[in-house]
A and B are shown apart, each in its own frame.
Chain A
Amino acid sequence: MTIHSIEIAGIRKKFGEQTVLDGIHLNVAKGSVLALLGPNGAGKTTLIHILSTLFPPDEGNARIEGHDVVTARDEVRRLISLTGQFAAVDEVLTGYENLIMMCRLSGLSAAQARAQTAELLKRFDLEGAAHKRVKAYSGGMRRRLDLAVSLVVRRPVLFLDEPTTGLDTVSRRTLWDMILQLKQQGMTILLTTQYLEEAELLADEIAVLNGGHIVASGTAAALKARVGSEVIELRSSSDEVIRTIPTDGSVQHVRHTLNEIAALYPADSTITLRKPSMDDVFVALTAPQQSKEASLA
């Protein structure tokens, strides 16, 4: 019995001279959500493509529910659903036609396809636009259709590549709710994102990918603990953040820090003591070496 839906061991991938993934090890527990967080070009999409059987890794291996993504490609394809970075729906067809097409390709009969399509249109709030061509859809509607298409049949593992990139706040929240519902139904979800807020809200665990390596992984709380338990935030009189300094929050350390910086900044600067945010973690973990030392000092 597998407790991990996704097991990744030592994956390396080069494109030409450029090493994109340089030894990735990662497991995703069955029924959990893992957010792969990283800047543009970190290799998030490459990893998703390897896991979803689009191309093999140069080295290492990965298993989905125990099946190798290279040697047991056909089995893996029955277990996964990929929602790519750009809404992977047919623009020329209507939303209804897209869903019917995917239902039929997934092995549903014509009658089952119609029933499932009606249900999904309703669930994803697309009934009104069902017979409009996707070309006329807004970004949020496209993404909802994209997600609906991924769910035409129940597959235990879902890959979502930057599901909310480019969406407005309202659409993003709607999509988050929908992803959380899927999580409650027990799907294993691996999603990539550049947004810390999104990772923190949706994921049980977060893995930070940078420069081809997983530089940190764990729960949001555990990652934040790596930066320090508190952060001193120094603001100018115009309320701009001038500097953030990690601290353990003890009277001694805070006083020591304030003594050190008091002379460096205008007297009307203000300070706040707050819990570290995912942004602090992200900056600390993905910044180039020198500034990493600086921000962790």
Chain B
Amino acid sequence: MNQAQPVPKPASLAVTNAVFIGRSIRHSLRNVESLMMAIMLPVMLMLLFTYVFGGAIDPGGDYVNYVVPGIILLCAGFGSSSTAVDVATDMTNGIIDRFRTMPIRSLSIVTGHVAASLVRNLLATAIVIGVAWLVGFRPNASLAEWLGALGLIVLFILAFTWLFAAIGLVTGSPSAASGYGFMLLFLPYLSSAFVPTSSMPSWLQGFANHQPITPVIETIRGLLTGTPIGDYGWQAIGWSAAILVLALAWSAFSFRRRGGRR
């Protein structure tokens, strides 16, 4: 059997990516705790912010329309942070040595995790919007505005997932990856996600207005509910694209530098 077959040509990049994406999606589906978290978190946060905090923040009852973009980004942050753990776990397992000694582009193993994260987070986004609709969210966006918002959400998820992938590659252990990744998850709270930045102390406003989450939130909010976007649109795309490019380069660099060391 084996002897009769000549060594086939190595797998193409497209096949390699497809195989690793399939692998990571299987991993996601079989990690029941994470999957439950990815589905339950958007539901719980949506209900929490609408019924528990919402009345205090905006007694008029219109808070749901304000808070949806924030919940989407908060869930996307949580969802993509598990990529750091997934990548770090792979890097500490013997299987990575086997992949690296095959004639394939082994960085695709990370691409697979990123693609799976995108799928998981888009699912979570759909759940947020679905639950939000049930509790009174009424966006007035046109189809083009919906697509624009979706495009920005995809760009944001990819940027942050690659950032978490890089963290997973440099930290070297799943628990360290989880710890460092956690710090990034506070960014949405220090933005205009849940309250306008004008309600914050002035020293905090400076940070909140000039960190990547605020422009992304304001742009999505503007596209979905018609609030003014202004310069936030370009800032949102600029921030996300810059993070994506840097995170990609950082990931590729640390993947190569790690070599066979474990």
Contact of A233 with B by CB under 8 A: no
Asked if residues B26 and A92 are in contact (CB atoms below 8 Å), the reply is: yes
- The minimal Cβ–Cβ distance linking A73 to chain B, given in whole angstroms, is 9
Q: A87 vs B259: C-alpha distance in the bound complex, in angstroms?
A: 19
Contacts A78-B103, A80-B101, A106-B11 given; indicate if A154 touches B23 (C-beta within 8 A): no
Contact of B16 with A by CB under 8 A: yes
A-facing mask of B229-262, CB < 8 A → 1, else 0?
Answer: 0000000000000000000000000000001110
Contacts A54-B100, A101-B19 given; indicate if A154 touches B94 (C-beta within 8 A): no
Name A186's closest neighbour in chain B (CB-CB). B3
Asked if residues B27 and A54 are in contact (CB atoms below 8 Å), the reply is: no
> Which of B7, B9, B15, B99 is in CB contact (< 8 Å) with A104?
B15
Q: A84 vs B95: C-alpha distance in the bound complex, in angstroms?
A: 8
How many residues of chain B get a CB closer than 8 Å to chain A's CBs? Answer: 33
Which B1-31 residues have C-beta < 8 A from chain A?
A: 1-3, 5-11, 15-16, 19, 22-23, 26-27, 30-31
Contacts A84-B94, A90-B23, A93-B26 given; indicate if A55 touches B101 (C-beta within 8 A): no
- The minimal Cβ–Cβ distance linking A96 to chain B, given in whole angstroms, is 12
Which B80-107 residues have C-beta < 8 A from chain A?
A: 93-95, 97-104
Q: A116 vs B99: C-alpha distance in the bound complex, in angstroms?
A: 19
Asked if residues A101 and B23 are in contact (CB atoms below 8 Å), the reply is: yes
Name A110's closest neighbour in chain B (CB-CB). B15
Asked if residues A86 and B101 are in contact (CB atoms below 8 Å), the reply is: no
Asked if residues A107 and B5 are in contact (CB atoms below 8 Å), the reply is: no
Contact of A89 with B by CB under 8 A: yes
User: Which residues from A are CB-within-8-Å of B98?
Assistant: 82-84, 88, 149
Q: A231 vs B30: C-alpha distance in the bound complex, in angstroms?
A: 58
Q: A55 vs B95: C-alpha distance in the bound complex, in angstroms?
A: 16
- The minimal Cβ–Cβ distance linking B99 to chain A, given in whole angstroms, is 8
Asked if residues B26 and A107 are in contact (CB atoms below 8 Å), the reply is: no
> Which of B2, B94, B259, B260 is in CB contact (< 8 Å) with A85?
B94
Name B16's closest neighbour in chain A (CB-CB). A105
User: Which residues from B are CB-within-8-Å of A104?
Assistant: 11, 15, 19
Name A15's closest neighbour in chain B (CB-CB). B261
User: Which residues from A are CB-within-8-Å of B11?
Assistant: 104-107
Asked if residues A92 and B27 are in contact (CB atoms below 8 Å), the reply is: yes
A-B contact count (CB 8 A): 91
- The minimal Cβ–Cβ distance linking B27 to chain A, given in whole angstroms, is 5
User: Which residues from A are CB-within-8-Å of B31?
Assistant: 92
> Which of A106, A149, A186 is in CB contact (< 8 Å) with B10?
A106
Q: A151 vs B98: C-alpha distance in the bound complex, in angstroms?
A: 12
Contact of A272 with B by CB under 8 A: no
Asked if residues A154 and B7 are in contact (CB atoms below 8 Å), the reply is: yes
Asked if residues A155 and B97 are in contact (CB atoms below 8 Å), the reply is: no
B-facing mask of A11-53, CB < 8 A → 1, else 0?
Answer: 0000000000000000000000000000000000000010011
Interface of A is mostly: loop
Contacts A104-B19, A105-B11 given; indicate if A154 touches B97 (C-beta within 8 A): no
User: Which residues from B are CB-within-8-Å of A185?
Assistant: 2-3
Asked if residues A92 and B30 are in contact (CB atoms below 8 Å), the reply is: yes
Asked if residues A86 and B94 are in contact (CB atoms below 8 Å), the reply is: yes
Asked if residues A155 and B23 are in contact (CB atoms below 8 Å), the reply is: no
- The minimal Cβ–Cβ distance linking A110 to chain B, given in whole angstroms, is 9
User: Which residues from B are CB-within-8-Å of A153?
Assistant: 2, 5, 7-8
Contact of A127 with B by CB under 8 A: no
Asked if residues B97 and A88 are in contact (CB atoms below 8 Å), the reply is: yes
User: Which residues from B are CB-within-8-Å of A89?
Assistant: 95
Asked if residues A88 and B259 are in contact (CB atoms below 8 Å), the reply is: no
> Which of A49, A93, A105, A154 is in CB contact (< 8 Å) with B5?
A154
Name A135's closest neighbour in chain B (CB-CB). B30
Contacts A85-B94, A93-B26, A119-B1 given; indicate if A106 touches B261 (C-beta within 8 A): no
Most buried by A among B1, B19, B101, B102: B101
Which B60-116 residues have C-beta < 8 A from chain A?
A: 93-95, 97-104
- The minimal Cβ–Cβ distance linking A147 to chain B, given in whole angstroms, is 12
Q: A82 vs B101: C-alpha distance in the bound complex, in angstroms?
A: 7
Asked if residues A90 and B95 are in contact (CB atoms below 8 Å), the reply is: yes
Asked if residues B7 and A97 are in contact (CB atoms below 8 Å), the reply is: no
Contact of A172 with B by CB under 8 A: no
Which A136-184 residues have C-beta < 8 A from chain B?
A: 149, 151, 153-155
- The minimal Cβ–Cβ distance linking B88 to chain A, given in whole angstroms, is 15
Q: A55 vs B11: C-alpha distance in the bound complex, in angstroms?
A: 23
Asked if residues B259 and A77 are in contact (CB atoms below 8 Å), the reply is: no
> Which of B2, B9, B16, B99 is in CB contact (< 8 Å) with A154?
B2
- Taking Cβ atoms with an 8 Å cutoff, the residues of A that contact B are 49, 52-55, 74, 77-78, 80-90, 92-93, 97, 101, 104-108, 112, 116, 119, 133, 149, 151, 153-155, 185-186
Closest 5 CB pairs of A and B: A54-B260, A107-B8, A88-B94, A84-B94, A77-B103
Please, could you name 24 A-B residue pairs with CB atoms under 8 Å apart, sorted by A? Answer: A53-B101, A54-B101, A54-B260, A74-B103, A77-B102, A80-B101, A81-B101, A87-B94, A88-B95, A89-B95, A90-B95, A92-B31, A93-B26, A107-B9, A107-B11, A108-B8, A112-B8, A116-B1, A133-B30, A154-B6, A154-B7, A155-B7, A185-B3, A186-B3
